[in-house]
Structure formats: structure tokens, C-alpha cells
Structure 1
Amino acid sequence: MDTILCDELLQEIFLRLPPTSSSAVSLVSKRWLRLFRSSISRLSLHLSPHNSTPPLLSSFLSHFPFLFSLSLTTAADTSTFSDLLLLSAASSCPNLRHIQLLNSPVSLFPLLSLSTSCPHLCSLSIALSRPLSFHWLLSFHSLKDLSIVFNTGQFDSYKLNSTDSAIGNSETELQLETLGLSGIQHCDYGLSWLWRSCKQLKKLQLRSCYAIGDESSLSSFVECLIGLQEVELWTCRAIIDEVLSKLAENCTSLKCLSVYDGGSRQGLLQFITQSQCNLQKLNFRLPLDLQNNHLMAAAENFRGLTSLRLQSCCLVTGEGLNSIGIAMSDQIEELALINCDVVEREPGLLTTLGQNLRRLRKLDLSYNEMLFDKELVSMLFSCSYLSELKLRGCKGLTNVTMVSMFKSCKYLESVDIMYCCGIEAEAIELFVLNLPRLRQLQVEESKIMWASK
């Protein structure tokens, strides 16, 4: 059999095998091991200075000629080891399209070497130490996606060197479409040039940021907002008002806004009421900042809204959610109420939402532990076109819900019932047998093993 199958056919077979079979494939023969490695395009490695020297890493990576994506993590907290890892990856994997190394900061020289050795690199995720410098970005001509974590440490202000000063005054335009920055401080110089050079941005993600740069960065920051389509703000309470205000004033192309763990009631309301964009997706995890008036304003101003995702939003009630349901009855296709106690506080809310949101395709009610069969079943009766349903961690549900799902929702393709203690294996087996469209089911392995017997 080994001699009958050609290399190309074997590689195609390897690509279709489940991940659990990979270890067995590599043990068949040296030929199979070589072909299996040649078929791998993505690799994640955890390395330690004690057992992973750069020569060993280079030798190992050389066995994967078609590696496109490489993720490296290390227990070391020094930039020296990270620099050596990046240099090894650059020299061994010329076809890389994406590389990630976030544990410890890297230096300038490995980055320049990476840009030369991997000319097709389009996605880069790294950590940098202060003082910040971005002139190395000019060497990456194919880079579209950039994520940078600014290493914690001393935040004393510093003077720009001659190179940073020269590039700070240049008018270079980068090709970046996605930019993610974590940990910006008030003392961080150099960001003004980065903002000004990112005029093709489609997505901006800020995490744990206390500023958008030094005093001169605000006017440059506005320049990168004009064409944005998606913004994510994670734990950025210090700058949330400023960012939302500038978005409302300067960005009309925004389609998706996500705010997690750090909002501003007034700033959020001002954005919703004053923004001129045709927002389609709202995604909030704001336990103490999101209120009904925000949802009512969204129902009035964002008529094109198709997706509303709320997580741990404790101050929202049925009044706010029903305003969305009534105003957007013909638009909303995705609704998520994850760990939102309004599901428990207001009986009948889900029934009303189901009756209003007739075009609902995706529903996520995960981690509502006090959600019971009666409430969910009455909602599913009206949501007959659902294709995706997530009920992870809903411990109050039983087999009754499973029966209702395959009777009411014939178009379900993806279902998540992990950690639903009241749902038994018999009901899962019956559910699978009665839903021919089902493509993905997430459930505990023990229940699947029982059903398969």
C-alpha cells in the first residue's frame, strides 16, 4: 500500500485526518513522516532556553518546507532568547505568512532580518520594549496585520533619537489593514507617525491602553480613523471617551464596535446618538456601564443593526432589549445574552424576543445557569430558522430542550451544549438522528462515547 500511493495523494489524505491521528501517521515510516511534515502549514511551539537552542530550532523547522504560520511561546523573559528564536525562524522558514512571538520583547535587528528573509510576511504579532520605534515597519512591504504588546517596565520620558525624529516627520503610508496595540502609556513617543501612516486601516484593536501616545498624537490619531470598519476596545476606560468621541466625529464607515471591561456611560451614549455610521454589529461586555438608554438610542439611530452581543451586562432590562427587538425585527440575525441575569429576572423575555426577531439565525445564551426549559422552548418555537445555537454552561436545561430543538429548529447546523448537566446522552443521540443538517456539535466526550455505543 505504501508504494501504491503517490506523495501527493498521501499528503491529501494527511490533510483530511483528525489532529488525534497525526502522532500515529508520523510513526509509520520515514517517508510518511517526511510527507506529513510537508503537509503542515501551521505550527505552535513552546520553547525553553534549557532545551531549545537556536540551532536545534532551525534544524527542526527546516523539516517543514511549506510552513505558513508559526506561533512561538517561551518561558524566558529576556529579549536575547526571543531575538535568537526570531532569527532562527526567519532563516528556516522563508515562506512564512504569519508569525507570533509575544512572551518577551524583540529587538530591531531580528525584525529587519525577518523582513528580508520572509518577504511574503503579511501578519506579525510581537512584543516591544520601550523606548518605542517603528521605522523597521518600512522594511515589511507585504504586512497587512500587525499586533504589538508594549512591554511593561519603566515609563520615564525620553528624547527621540535622530532616526526616530527623521521618520517622525516623514509622510510614508503603510499598507496595514489591521492594527492591534496593547499597553500604550502617556510617555510613548513615536505613535504619532504610526497613526499618521495607517490610512488604510480597516480594523483597530486597543487593549489596556491608558493613552493614545504623547501630547502630539491626538491629531495624528484622527487620520487613521476615517476608513475604519471595526473597532475593539479592551479595558481602556482611561481613553474610552476620547476614542468614541473621535469615532463619532470622523468615522462614517464603522460597521462593528466592541467594548469590553471598561466603558463610559456618557461617552457611549454620546457616540450612539451622534455617530453617522451605519453600524451593523454591537458587542459589549460592560457589567456596570451599559444601560437601557444605550439600547434604546441604538434602536433609534442604528437602523441597520444585524448583530447584538451582550455579556455580563447586569443593568440591562427587558425594556431595553425589547426596544431593540421591536425596532430591528426585520434586521437582527444574531443575538447573544451571555451570563446576563435579565434572562433570569424577567420571565417571558425570551418568548417576546423570539416572537419579534423572526429573522434570527444565531443565538447565544451561554452561561445562564438559571435558564430553564420552559423559557427556552417557548423562544425556540418562534426561531425556526436558527442555524447556530450556543447553550454552553446552561445547567438548568434538560432533555426537554433537546427534543424541542429538533422539532422547532430544522435548519440547525452548529450547536454547543457543553457543560449542560441536565442534558443526557440519550437525548443527544435522538437529537443527532433527527437533524440531518447538523454539521457541528460541541458536547462532553463522555456523553458522545455513551451515545456511540
Structure 2
Amino acid sequence: MELPEECWESIFGFLEHHRYFEPLSLVCKRFLSITNHLRRSLTITDPTLESLPHLLLRFPNLTTIAFRDFHGNLDSVLSLISQSGLPLTSLDVSCHKCFPLLGLKCLASKIRILTELNCSNIGSLKDSDLIEIGNCFPSLEVVDISYPDHGCGFSPNGSLDSKSFSGLVTDYGVLGLASSLRRLRKIDLSGNTFITDQALVSLSSNCMFLTEIGIRDCDFITQNGIALAIRKTGNLKSIFMNGIGIPSIDVCFLDSFSYARSLCKLDLSNSFISDELLCLVAEANLPLNKLVLSRCFCFTFDGIYFLLSKYQFLAYLDLEGANFLNDESIIELAKFFGNLTFINLSLCSKLTNSTLFNLMGNCPLLTIINMERTNLGVEAFPAEIVVNPRVKSLHLGWNNNLNDECMKMASYVCPNLEVLDVTYCSGITEEGILEVLKSCVQIRCLEISRCQGVNNLELDFELPKLEVLQAEGLAINDEALASIGKRCGRLSRLNLEGCLNVTARGVEGVIVNCKALKEMNLRWCNNVSVDIVAWMVLSRPSLRKITLPCGSVPTANQRNFFLRHGCLVCQG
């Protein structure tokens, strides 16, 4: 019985990422047509440019386009996109040297329904650009103009060189933007160091639907301004800021949380906060589900205990750098962690194995644990070990005492682990890593860079789901690399930077067997001959980026040749 297209679309819709459409598209012309119409997002890179007109025709329902590692003419590409007739709603042009004013104007003449625009880390962003954004796309709901790159220079006497600025974002530009974007829901102003409280006044006065504000590293925004914004923005659900409490916390700021009736997400990173502030937040009875106190100072266990006792429905908790925490205090706090799905305890140097395994045993919904730069590997395991199939990601890098025994126990407790990061964990050997890989067959991403104890990694079993392997600086050889190629059929990204024992023979084993490979980093792999690069590009059409060994620089003709085959080849 032949299924109608609607049924196939529903079935394919369960796939978590469009990268899984590729093998389906090769089955038959019908599946190719269905997957083409289901594709909603496209990332444009240098290798994409030549085939872009074809891609815009192939995927008629694209709603999201992002530019990554793109060094071409952004204005001309946006002009091309404007002619495509796509139902585009989201555009990311972040991290480019110049604001693409002409391209955005051209796009706006054809596509006025854009609701999300990311212009973060754009070079020379200025007030007039913000005003044009508002004029071009009045339907915008989400805007990111954070951390503009003005390439600030300094004069010989050490003072700021004003000539290095071609313009700045000020309160005037934010007012112009806010006046045009009546539907604005989210805005990130972080890193715009010359805006003041007046910018927040403009937003809260003009944007009635505003629910999220980002104001990290905005030096002239005061606690009074933040308090006013919280009071006047009745729908505010999320605010992220830093540097609060320098030199002290104002009374108006303390009192403002009693007005934030809708606040769900609060980020006070890198601030000098007090137990008094935490108690006032606790007593405000907010619908808080995300709390970030990363690298904050001046609060104590009593303050965080009281706050967490009031917000036992938190799903996301970041206490990075809270050095007063120890294993016993985490046991006390864990009784409030029943709904946590994410916790970050990195840089809490007193935490040991006890904390890691108690969290796994006492937090039934926990899926992501960050405990980098702690004291893992020290102290015995808890008497009662509970298997937690919910845990999917462990980020345990820079723990020098972490050892194979701990890895084996983690693999037992987390059978469904998908992401493991043990970067710079010198006490782990290949024995511990192999034990994890054997037990956790769902592993998609493995980061073992600079693990000095891992001398080799020969696989004699399949890793059907591994997609990313970060193996920078390891002593693996060609035999180990060949076994990785044979056993990891889904591998798409491989980082071998600084793997001095690898030669062209090992690279060939990966290229031949890994049919989904997209990126390979060979920087500092000085025993790999660059003569193999052309063969790599021609033999594995899926390749999109290769970083050459150091000292190897492709000529312009070579670079263009590889780009025509869809692969960006970068010098090491």
C-alpha cells in the first residue's frame, strides 16, 4: 500500500535535524521532493555560494537563513535571496565586518514578514543602522544587536582613538528602533557600552509585548534604569545582566523584583549579590524556572538555600564559581532539585565524586551536568548508586584527578549518555574512554582533546551514532584512526589538531569509510602530506571544511577549485 505524501511528511517530521534528510533524499525522487519541501533552515558558508541559486530553488519553504564563516559580499547574496520568494522569517548575519545595509534594504523590498534578525558582532554598527532595521522590518519580534565590533584602537598616548569609530549605537538609535518595532518581544543590547538608562525607557515605553532584555556589559545602564524597566515592562519574562552590586546594590533594584510578576529567567552573572537580594527574589514568588548566578560573589549557602527552597520548580540552575559549596551542601540543596534538567557547578573546587553521583541519583529529570574544573576523582563513590537514564550530557573537562574508575561508574549510571566532554583530564586513559563507549551506545559527541593519558584508541566495536570526535593533541596513530573510520559510519566532524603520529594513511581510512564526514582539522599534523587534500575533496563529496597542517597555504586557484567542489580549505 502506497502512503500519501502527508503521511510521509508526518513521519519525516519526527527526525530531530534536517541532516537526516540527506540519506532519505537518495532513496527515490519522491522522498527527494518531500525532504526538499520539509527543509526549513539553511546555513550559508563560502562553499555554499556557488550552488546557492540552485539551493534556493531546491528548498522553497526555507524560513531561516544563517551566514557562518562567510567572507563573500553579503549585500549581493541578500539581494539574491530577496528574489527567491522564500517565506523567510529569520535571518542571521552576525559576525561580519560590515553591516549589510544595502542587502537588507533589498531584502525588505521583497520580504517584509521577517520576525527575527541577528546582527550580533557586526562591525561598525551605528544608530542609523538601527533606524533602517526598524524601517525595513517593522514586524520584527526578536533582535540581537549585541557586542558590535568597532575595532577600537588606541592613540600613542594610550587614550582611545576616536578615529577608529565609524559610528556608535546610542540611546538615539535604540529609540528609533523601538519606535518602529511595536511587536518586539526580545532584544539583546549587550556590549553596547554607550547606551544608558534612556534606552531601557524607550523600549519599555514603546514595546508593549517585550518579554526579554539582554544588557550585559552595558556600562552606563544603572540599577535605577534596570529597576524602572522591570517595573514598567509588565510582560517581562527574562532579563540577563552582569556587574550588579558594584559598588553596592541600590534599594530600588532590590524592591523591583516584587513587580516582576512574569519573570521566568534571571541571569545575574559576574555580579556582587547578597543574601538579602536572594531573599527578596525568593519572597517575590516569581514563576522562575531559570536562575544564573555564574561567577557571582558575596552570597552564602544560607542565601541560596532559602531561595531554592522557594523555587523547587527550577529547571535550569547555574552556580558556576560558588566556591563555598561542598559535597555536604549539595546534598542539602539537592532536595530542591526535583525538577532540574540542567545544572552548572563548574569552578566549585570543593566538589568531588560524591556530588556528581548524588546529583544523578537524586535528580530524576536531570539531563545536562557541567562540573568542569572541580575536584572530581577525589573521594569515594556514594554507598548507593542509582542508574539515571535521563542524563544525556556530561561536561567534566579540566579535572586532573578524574580517572578511569570514575568513567566506568559514569557509564554504568548514565546508559543513555550522548555527549561526553573530558577535555584536559590527564588522569583518564583509553581504558576508561573505551568502557564508556562500549556501555553508552547513544554517544553522539566525544571530546577527549589533550587527555595525555589516552595514548591510543583502537575500536573493535561499532559506534553507530558518533558524529563528533574532538581528539586534539592525542597520541593516536594510523591504526587507531583507521579503526575509528571503520566503526564510526556517521562521523561528521573530526578534530585531529596536534596528533603528531597521524599520517596520510590514517586520514585515508577515515575518508574512505566516513561517508557523512563534513569537517576535518589537521592543523599541526605535520606528518600528513598536503598532497592528499585534492584526493580527500574529490573522494568524499560531503566534505565542507578542511584545515591543513601548519605551514600549508593553498593558492588562490586551489582554494577556488576546492570551493567549486563545495569544500573550504583553510591554511593551518
Please state which band the TM-score falls in when normalised by the shorter chain.
0.7 to 0.9
**Would the alpha carbon gap of residues 419 and 83 (structure 1) be closer, same or farther in structure 2, given more than 3 Å must change?**
farther
Contact 1:70 1:100 in 2 (8 A): yes
Contact 1:314 1:340 in 2 (8 A): yes
Q: Give 1:419's aligned residue.
A: 523
Contact 1:134 1:194 in 2 (8 A): no
User: Which has the larger displacement, 271-280 or 283-292?
Assistant: 271-280
Q: Structure 1: how far apart are the matches of 2:290 and 2:323?
A: 23
Q: Structure 2: how far apart are the matches of 1:436 and 1:315?
A: 38
Query: Deviation of residue 361 (structure 1)?
Result: 1.7
Is 1:68 the counterpart of 2:186 in the alignment? yes
Is 1:42 the counterpart of 2:144 in the alignment? yes
Contact 1:395 1:419 in 2 (8 A): no
Query: Deviation of residue 373 (structure 1)?
Result: 3.7
SS at 2:512 equivalent: helix
Query: Deviation of residue 117 (structure 1)?
Result: 3.5
Is 1:210 the counterpart of 2:210 in the alignment? no
Query: Deviation of residue 202 (structure 1)?
Result: 2.1
Q: Structure 2: how far apart are the matches of 1:272 and 1:96?
A: 49
SS at 1:72 equivalent: coil
**Would the alpha carbon gap of residues 307 and 236 (structure 1) be closer, same or farther in structure 2, given more than 3 Å must change?**
same
User: Which has the larger displacement, 226-235 or 194-203?
Assistant: 194-203
Q: Structure 2: how far apart are the matches of 1:342 and 1:218?
A: 30
* Matching residue's letter, 1:433: L
Is 1:451 the counterpart of 2:559 in the alignment? yes
Q: Structure 2: how far apart are the matches of 1:369 and 1:239?
A: 28
- For residues 381-427 of structure 1, the C-alpha deviation after alignment (integer angstroms, 9 at most, x for no partner) is 22223233333454654544443322111123x42416355466664
Contact 1:234 1:260 in 2 (8 A): yes
SS at 2:319 equivalent: strand
User: Which has the larger displacement, 232-241 or 91-100?
Assistant: 91-100
Taking the TM superposition and a 5 Å limit, the aligned residue runs for 1:197-346 are: 197-211=310-324, 221-238=333-350, 244=356, 247=359, 250-266=362-378, 269-270=380-381, 274-278=385-389, 279-328=391-440, 330-343=441-454, 346=455
* Matching residue's letter, 1:315: G
Q: Structure 2: how far apart are the matches of 1:397 and 1:21?
A: 36
Q: Structure 2: how far apart are the matches of 1:288 and 1:442?
A: 31
Q: Structure 1: how far apart are the matches of 2:187 and 2:554?
A: 34
**Would the alpha carbon gap of residues 6 and 184 (structure 1) be closer, same or farther in structure 2, given more than 3 Å must change?**
closer
**Would the alpha carbon gap of residues 443 and 86 (structure 1) be closer, same or farther in structure 2, given more than 3 Å must change?**
farther
* Matching residue's letter, 2:496: L
Is 1:151 the counterpart of 2:271 in the alignment? yes
Contact 1:125 1:148 in 2 (8 A): yes
Q: Structure 2: how far apart are the matches of 1:96 and 1:225?
A: 30
Tell me the C-alpha RMSD between the 2 structures: 4.8
* Matching residue's letter, 1:26: L
User: Which has the larger displacement, 249-258 or 48-57?
Assistant: 48-57
Q: Give 1:26's aligned residue.
A: 102
Q: Structure 2: how far apart are the matches of 1:272 and 1:409?
A: 43
Contact 1:199 1:227 in 2 (8 A): yes
- Aligned identity (percent) is 15
Contact 1:100 1:126 in 2 (8 A): no
Contact 1:428 1:451 in 2 (8 A): no
User: Which has the larger displacement, 374-383 or 16-25?
Assistant: 16-25
**Would the alpha carbon gap of residues 148 and 167 (structure 1) be closer, same or farther in structure 2, given more than 3 Å must change?**
closer
Contact 2:460 2:483 in 1 (8 A): no
Q: Structure 2: how far apart are the matches of 1:67 and 1:45?
A: 19
User: Which has the larger displacement, 87-96 or 310-319?
Assistant: 87-96
Contact 2:481 2:510 in 1 (8 A): no
Contact 1:186 1:210 in 2 (8 A): no
- Equivalent of 2:470, from 353, 365, 371? 365
SS at 1:311 equivalent: coil
Contact 1:281 1:307 in 2 (8 A): yes
* Matching residue's letter, 1:350: L
* Matching residue's letter, 1:195: L
- For residues 140-160 of structure 1, the C-alpha deviation after alignment (integer angstroms, 9 at most, x for no partner) is 4554433212435xx9x89x5
Q: Give 2:488's aligned residue.
A: 383
Contact 2:178 2:203 in 1 (8 A): no
**Would the alpha carbon gap of residues 430 and 302 (structure 1) be closer, same or farther in structure 2, given more than 3 Å must change?**
same
**TM-score normalised by structure 2 residue count:** 0.60
- For residues 157-208 of structure 1, the C-alpha deviation after alignment (integer angstroms, 9 at most, x for no partner) is 89x59xx87775x482523245443224455875444323333322222221
Consecutive unaligned residues of structure 1, counting only runs of 5 or more, are none
Q: Structure 1: how far apart are the matches of 2:292 and 2:554?
A: 42
Q: Structure 2: how far apart are the matches of 1:350 and 1:166?
A: 53
Q: Give 2:545's aligned residue.
A: 441
**Would the alpha carbon gap of residues 113 and 358 (structure 1) be closer, same or farther in structure 2, given more than 3 Å must change?**
closer
* Matching residue's letter, 1:434: S
* Matching residue's letter, 2:349: R
- For residues 2-58 of structure 1, the C-alpha deviation after alignment (integer angstroms, 9 at most, x for no partner) is 99x989959949948797596454389798774696378321245999986853343
**Would the alpha carbon gap of residues 356 and 441 (structure 1) be closer, same or farther in structure 2, given more than 3 Å must change?**
same
Q: Structure 1: how far apart are the matches of 2:145 and 2:372?
A: 30
Contact 2:472 2:496 in 1 (8 A): yes
Q: Give 1:182's aligned residue.
A: 295
Consecutive unaligned residues of structure 2, counting only runs of 5 or more, are 1-77, 110-128, 153-159, 562-572
